[in-house]
Amino acid sequence: MDWSAGKGFLSAGGTRLEYACWGPAPDQAPTIVLLHEGLGCVALWRDFPAKLAKATGMGVLAYSRAGYGQSDGKPLPWSINYMTDEAVEVLPLVLDAIGFRSGILMGHSDGASIASIYCGSVEDMRVRGLIVMAPHYFTEPMGLAAIAQAKVAYDQGDLKPRLAKYHKDVDNAFRGWNNSWLNPDFEAWNIGDVTDYLRIPALAIQGRQDEYGTLAQIDEIATRSYAPVEVAVLEECGHSPHLDQPQQVLTAVTDFTAHLWRIEAAEPEGV
């Protein structure tokens, strides 16, 4: 991929994935890799990545997973373990494709789950920190109810045309996500055990008014992680903290990254 181009497509296992990047390249500074939500894509991060690069001085890379945005499609139906599949099979290829050297995984919603699975399952010393916004570690009745309501809005309301502005195959994106979550077998889905294996500092951010998950999701990583976890619970904030309270998120991330690099600088060589 060509970082200097600012956007384009990269190949991961033969799948064409769209990407966009901001700030310094991976060979010039640490990189924050953004992992989007269950209905997200590169474009739906809006202006947050640019602000993030400016605030932290780090490079920022966002990509659209298969089935989303302008990336290649992903055959339906998706496995109910699609987040684990993404974390262990696809994300390593993406990191290699962008020339990732050192940095942070930052995920939102499904992306936060994928980032957590990667950090708790894949041994990768390049990843020095984890940031999760509105993560899912297990299902909750209120979250499943909200996802069922999204299906109604897609089938009978205006959600489909609104999403179609951002996804070249909107049915692939929506059905893949929604059908997996509403599969009766998905109710037992639980990845909380990956937090037991985290060995890097983490920042967990959630809006108090999140309609898809309670603060029990944040408690899961905060109480189970072996490594330090900073928690930011934002008021007047729903499921998208970076859009609902962007300045608070930027401040929390900037403080976290500054602290992380101070820790890195203080470690003896070879640690």
In sequence order, what DSSP letters do the residues of 110-160 get, joined into one string? Answer: HHHHHHHHHHHHS--TTEEEEEEES--SB--HHHHHHHHHHHHHHHHSSHH
| Domain map (residue ranges) of the chain | 3-266
Residue type, 266: A
When pLDDT is cut at 50, 70 and 90, the band that residue 3 belongs to is confident
Does the pLDDT value for residue 270 go beyond 60? no
pLDDT for position 268: 56
Give which of 184, 166, 32 is closest to 95, Cα–Cα. 32
pLDDT for position 271: 44
When pLDDT is cut at 50, 70 and 90, the band that residue 267 belongs to is low
Length of the chain: 271
Q: Please give the share of the chain, as a percent, with pLDDT higher than 70.
A: 98
pLDDT for position 254: 97
Strand runs labelled E in 23-117? 31-35, 59-63, 103-108
Whether 23 and 54 have beta carbons less than 8 Å apart is answered as yes
Which tokens go with 250? 């930027």
Give which of 75, 74, 49, 78 is closest to 63, Cα–Cα. 49
Cis check for the bond before 77: say yes or no (omega within 30 of 0).
Answer: yes
Question: What is the pLDDT averaged over residues 94-114?
Answer: 97
pLDDT for position 264: 76
Architecture of domain 3-266: 3-Layer(aba) Sandwich (3.40)
Question: What is the pLDDT averaged over residues 184-203?
Answer: 97
The span from the CA of 144 to the CA of 195, in Å, is: 22
40-88 per-position pLDDT tens digit: 999 999 999 999 999 999 999 999 999 999 999 999 999 999 999 999 9
What's the sign of the alpha-carbon dihedral 256, 261, 267, 269?
positive
Question: What is the pLDDT averaged over residues 171-179?
Answer: 98
Distance of CA 174 to the CA centre of its chain: 17
The span from the CA of 6 to the CA of 20, in Å, is: 6
Give which of 58, 151, 159 is closest to 104, Cα–Cα. 58
Which tokens go with 229? 């976890």
pLDDT for position 263: 80
The span from the CA of 86 to the CA of 66, in Å, is: 9
Does the pLDDT value for residue 266 go beyond 80? no
3-state secondary structure of 80: coil
